[in-house]
Amino acid sequence: MSELINTIKNLSHKVSEDYLIFGKDMNDSLVTLYQEGEIENAEILKRICEQANQNVYLALFHNPDTDKSNIKFDLADFKKVSEIANESEEAMKDYNTPPKDFRSNLEIAVMPDATNTDDTAKVAELRNSVEYRQVLRNFLSRVESMKTAECNCAENAFDSMAKDAEALVANGESIGDISKIATRFVRENIGGNFVKVAECYNEIYNELLKTRPKMKCGFTKISSQKINDKSAILAPVRDFSHSIAKIAGLTEMEENIKKALELFDKGIHGNISFKAKKA
């Protein structure tokens, strides 16, 4: 029991310390630890989340610069981490699972005549098709996992964009200027997806209206001046744009793999049906 307590204590300390010192998202840290086998089960994960949140809260509370009446930070979310970890486990399970219909369906439905070389050749070809189809299925699982991870990155980048915009607006900056600068930055330095960035800031604007109806919205000469590409404010904009591009590419890849799998399914099942009738 003492070993388990130490494990929870040490891992929660690591997660909270990485958040406080390096700004690393606690959920990302927990997913990594879970995938690497450092966290054995959901119950331990839950306790580490609770302990890590407590560690961060206490550290902020004892920080003299913290407003103790309004302590806010990104919580370690047990449900969110569990969902991501489960998706990853399912993907790896699919990756390591042998073809479902290779022995059970193929071997029973297709009984080649040992004296018929043509029949044997067709069965060998069919087996190759089944094996290659499984390779495609494994590849699809990997692509889906990468897409899920990239969607999480896009969401995190959007959250950072929203927080930065809120802070700048509170400081008297115009949401119009913020949006225009971000859109210009993407269009001039990255190329595509600047429309998506503009749509994000429109969503951020609508959300800010609920609490800041009198915020500045117009464009000033600031938004037309030269952009500092190294600005920390533009980092999440860059990350968001890159993630959107990756998601688009992965989605196209996913659709093409699914189309290829449909062709393999038709060919394989049609061949099995023909052989079964012949048998």
Task: Say whether pLDDT at 67 is over 60.
Answer: yes
Task: Give me the long-range contacts of 199-202 (CB less than 8 A, separation at least 24).
Answer: 200/158, 200/161, 200/240, 201/161, 201/165, 201/175
Give the pLDDT confidence score for residue 118 in this predicted structure.
Answer: 58
Q: What percentage of the chain carries pLDDT values higher than 70?
A: 82
Task: Say whether pLDDT at 90 is over 80.
Answer: no
* Mean pLDDT of all residues in 59-84: 85
Ramachandran quadrant class, 182 (left: phi over 0; alpha: psi -120 to 50; beta: rest): alpha
Domain ranges of the chain: 1-96, 97-279
- pLDDT tens, residue by residue, 19-32: 887 788 999 989 88
Give the pLDDT confidence score for residue 119 in this predicted structure.
Answer: 59
Question: Lowest mean pLDDT: which of 30-39, 113-122, 146-155, 162-171?
Answer: 113-122
146 vs 104: which has the higher pLDDT: 146
pTM to 2 decimals? 0.52
Closest by alpha carbon to 197, among 151, 228, 168, 239? 239
- pLDDT tens, residue by residue, 96-140: 444 444 333 333 333 344 445 555 676 677 777 778 888 888 888
Residues contacting 170, CB < 8 A, separation 6+ = 212
* Range with the largest mean pLDDT of 5-9, 90-94, 135-139, 249-253: 249-253
According to DSSP, residue 171 is labeled T
* Euclidean distance between CA atoms 279 and 271, whole angstroms: 12
Task: Say whether pLDDT at 54 is over 70.
Answer: yes
* Euclidean distance between CA atoms 81 and 18, whole angstroms: 17
Give the pLDDT confidence score for residue 64 in this predicted structure.
Answer: 80
* Euclidean distance between CA atoms 133 and 139, whole angstroms: 10
